[in-house]
Amino acid sequence: MYVAIEGIDTAGKSTQIEALRTLFPEALITKEPGGTPAGIEIRTMVLHGNLTSKTAELLLFLADRAEHTESVILPNMHKLIISDRSAVSGMAYASVQNLCDESTLVMLNRLATSGVLPDTVFILKLTPEELNHRLSQKEHDAIESRGIAYLLSIQDALIASAYALGIQTVVIDATQSINTITNEITNLIKGAL
């Protein structure tokens, strides 16, 4: 089973991934971008580099996704795979920037993943108030610096993208307690195994 945890920055993805790592010690835990050595370089280039082209950013993320699929996802399909982000994020960020239409984004992501997408995606959803509070508590990277309205548009796009890709989607209220969220995800994974 291949699942992905999605959500905008500060939604609690990393916290949930760490909880799931403990609860499912046999699972392969990975992430996009940055789940491979090449992916680490791509992630650094996009988040902290000097890119001015949004198309270049999209293509770099697709390159990372292709490398990640071939070297991490496909060889481990016999295991439980839990990924921090997936093609859903790539499509959401690109769609908000109006780089191309939805059908083209679906096609590009299917190409990059060889058609192998998560069985289920869990999307952690924040309210505008909670997002504002969480962002005020940390230093911002290049994506977070684009502002709250931008991040909320990404959040909506994550949900739309998961449906456009045909992935089973579970939207979770990320303002709940960490344990409540962990239990919801865990119960759904165990029910599907």
Which two three-digit tokens encode residue 4? 């992905």
Predicted confidence at residue 43, as pLDDT, reads: 84
Which two three-digit tokens encode residue 139? 């230093």
Beta bridge partners of 5: 84, 122
CB 26, CB 74: distance < 8 Å: no
The yes-or-no verdict on residue 144 having pLDDT over 60 is: no
- Convert the pLDDT of each residue in 3-59 to its tens digit: 999 999 889 999 999 999 999 999 999 999 889 999 899 888 887 878 889 899 899
67 lies in a domain? Answer: no
Helix ranges (DSSP H) in the chain = 13-23, 37-48, 54-68, 87-96, 102-112, 128-135, 148-164, 178-192
For all residues of the chain together, what is the average pLDDT?
Answer: 92
- Convert the pLDDT of each residue in 93-121 to its tens digit: 899 988 899 999 999 999 999 999 999 99
**pLDDT over 70 percentage in the chain:** 95
46 lies in a domain? Answer: no
pTM of the predicted protein model: 0.90
CB 74, CB 117: distance < 8 Å: no
Domain range for residue 187?
2-32+76-192
> How many domains does one find in the chain?
1
160-165-166-168 Cα dihedral, nearest 10 degrees: -70
Predicted confidence at residue 159, as pLDDT, reads: 97
20 lies in a domain? Answer: yes
Predicted confidence at residue 184, as pLDDT, reads: 97
Predicted confidence at residue 193, as pLDDT, reads: 82
CATH code, domain carrying 177: 3.40.50.300
8 lies in a domain? Answer: yes
Predicted confidence at residue 11, as pLDDT, reads: 93
Predicted confidence at residue 155, as pLDDT, reads: 95
168 lies in a domain? Answer: yes
